[in-house]
């Protein structure tokens, strides 16, 4: 889940909003963390206790609702994957001086190879965890070099100069919106971590996934703030790359290439896997063609990127799009927890339910505010 969230859109959004809001972006991160935990903790616990995937729960609640939810998640996952493959192309371009389209094509083949391997689940887990650690360590190094104003960042995190609803909903959407929170929830079910007895582990995983994502977000924010606070202007065509390059020179630019590729390729894997899990149970033929459907999803994403281009605009917009999907998917899970008695000896905690409903209301308001203002 964490490496699905930490994609090229994550890097680009963080750089863009730090450039716009300065130290006040710390407040946006703080609010998004609270909303992220409220959404993910509810969804993962409900999926674990019900031992059902989200679309099956939704169909049991209201016939046809699961198909609608699956369609929204898959479309959001496709949009994200276009940006993810754009990110792999940017990373390859920086590292090997090849065209972004060629880099995206090579990365798509690597992702497909992971799913075609017979031990794909174990490979996917090890691959994403390893690259996630590399991303955080390299970004932490760049943050140290950029020397951000820590006092100002801490102060504006609790007392911002300005608040941007679009930035908040984009961050929430980029962390737990659309397919991302289900990437972890469905992976736990596939790994056999389910049932009431697994709830302590599920809850720890849900919160730790958000915290890992948030650590990376904070580290990248501080790196960008260190650059922006010196009066330097980030490049509009690739703001995340300019953070690394301005902070650490040519080596920083190469580090960005590694971080961008790691972030992008792990998100390609997460998006493709999760999008597939939303349609797998609808027909036996879909399950039989698992590897080929996932491969087709990745290939289609790569072809659309090659045809459209403009990765920076795509990467910012898809976070907002998935933020709009979140209130619906979370509300469906919460209603299912109340209406469907899938466990005789389990009642979803009222405090957690209210926390989840607060996130639904907040994200609806933020989505409307982002559209209107």
230-244: average pLDDT: 84
d(CA 99, CA 315): 19
Share of the chain above pLDDT 90, in %: 42
Q: What is the pLDDT of residues 171-221, one digit of tens each?
A: 888 888 878 889 899 989 988 999 889 999 999 999 999 998 999 899 999
Residue extents of the structural domains in the chain: 2-372
Q: What is the pLDDT of residues 36-49, one digit of tens each?
A: 999 999 999 999 99
Position 29 pLDDT exceeds 90: yes
Phi, psi angle pair for 147, to nearest 5°: 50, 65
Identify whether the C-beta of residue 123 lies closer than 8 Å to the C-beta of residue 112: no
d(CA 114, CA 111): 5
Identify whether the C-beta of residue 138 lies closer than 8 Å to the C-beta of residue 216: no
- Domain 2-372: CATH superfamily, name plus number: Amino acid/polyamine transporter I (1.20.1740.10)
Q: What is the pLDDT of residues 281-338, one digit of tens each?
A: 888 888 888 888 999 999 999 998 888 766 666 666 666 666 778 899 999 999 998 8
Burial of 344 (0-12, 13-18, 19+ CB in 10 A): exposed
Higher pLDDT pick, 134 / 70: 70
Buried b / exposed e along 42-81 (16+ C-beta atoms within 10 A) = bbbbbbbbbbbbbbbbbbbbeeebbeebbebbbbbbbbbb
- For residue 237, give the DSSP letter: S
Q: What is the pLDDT of residues 82-104, one digit of tens each?
A: 888 988 988 998 899 998 889 99
The region of weakest confidence among 1-5, 77-81, 145-149 is 1-5
């Amino acid at each position: 889940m964490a490496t699905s969230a930490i994609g090229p859109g994550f890097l680009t959004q963080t750089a863009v909003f730090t450039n716009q809001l300065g130290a006040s972006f710390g407040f946006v991160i703080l609010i998004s963390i609270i909303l992220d935990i409220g959404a993910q903790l509810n969804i993962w616990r409900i999926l674990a206790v019900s031992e059902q995937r989200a679309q099956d729960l939704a169909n049991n609640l209201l016939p046809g609702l699961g198909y609608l939810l699956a369609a929204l998640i898959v479309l959001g996952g496709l949009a994200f994957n276009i940006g993810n493959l754009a990110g792999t192309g940017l990373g390859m371009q920086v590292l090997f001086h090849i065209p972004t389209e060629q880099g995206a094509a090579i990365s798509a083949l690597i992702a497909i190879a992971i799913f075609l391997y017979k031990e794909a689940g174990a490979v996917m887990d090890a691959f994403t965890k390893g690259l996630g650690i590399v991303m955080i360590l390299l970004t932490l190094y760049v943050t140290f070099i950029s020397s951000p104003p820590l006092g100002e960042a801490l102060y504006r995190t609790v007392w911002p100069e300005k608040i941007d609803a679009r930035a908040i909903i984009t961050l929430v959407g980029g962390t737990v919106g659309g397919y991302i929170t289900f990437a972890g929830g469905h992976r736990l079910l596939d790994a056999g971590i389910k049932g009431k007895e697994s709830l302590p582990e599920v809850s720890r995983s849900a919160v730790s996934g958000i915290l890992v994502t948030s650590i990376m977000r904070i580290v990248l924010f501080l790196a960008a703030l260190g650059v922006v606070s010196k009066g330097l202007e980030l490049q509009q065509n690739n703001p995340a790359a300019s953070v690394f390059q301005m902070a650490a020179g040519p080596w920083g630019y190469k580090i960005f290439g590694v971080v961008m590729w790691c972030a992008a390729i792990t998100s390609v894997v997460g998006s493709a896997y999760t999008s597939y899990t939303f349609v797998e149970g609808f027909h036996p033929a879909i399950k039989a063609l698992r590897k080929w459907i996932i491969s087709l999803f990745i290939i289609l994403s790569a072809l659309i990127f090659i045809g459209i281009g403009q990765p920076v605009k795509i990467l910012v917009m898809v976070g907002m799009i998935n933020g709009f999907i979140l209130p619906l998917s979370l509300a469906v899970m919460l209603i299912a927890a109340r209406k469907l008695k899938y466990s005789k000896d389990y009642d979803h905690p009222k405090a957690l339910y209210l926390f989840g409903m607060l996130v639904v209301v907040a994200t609806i308001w933020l989505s409307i505010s982002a559209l209107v203002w």
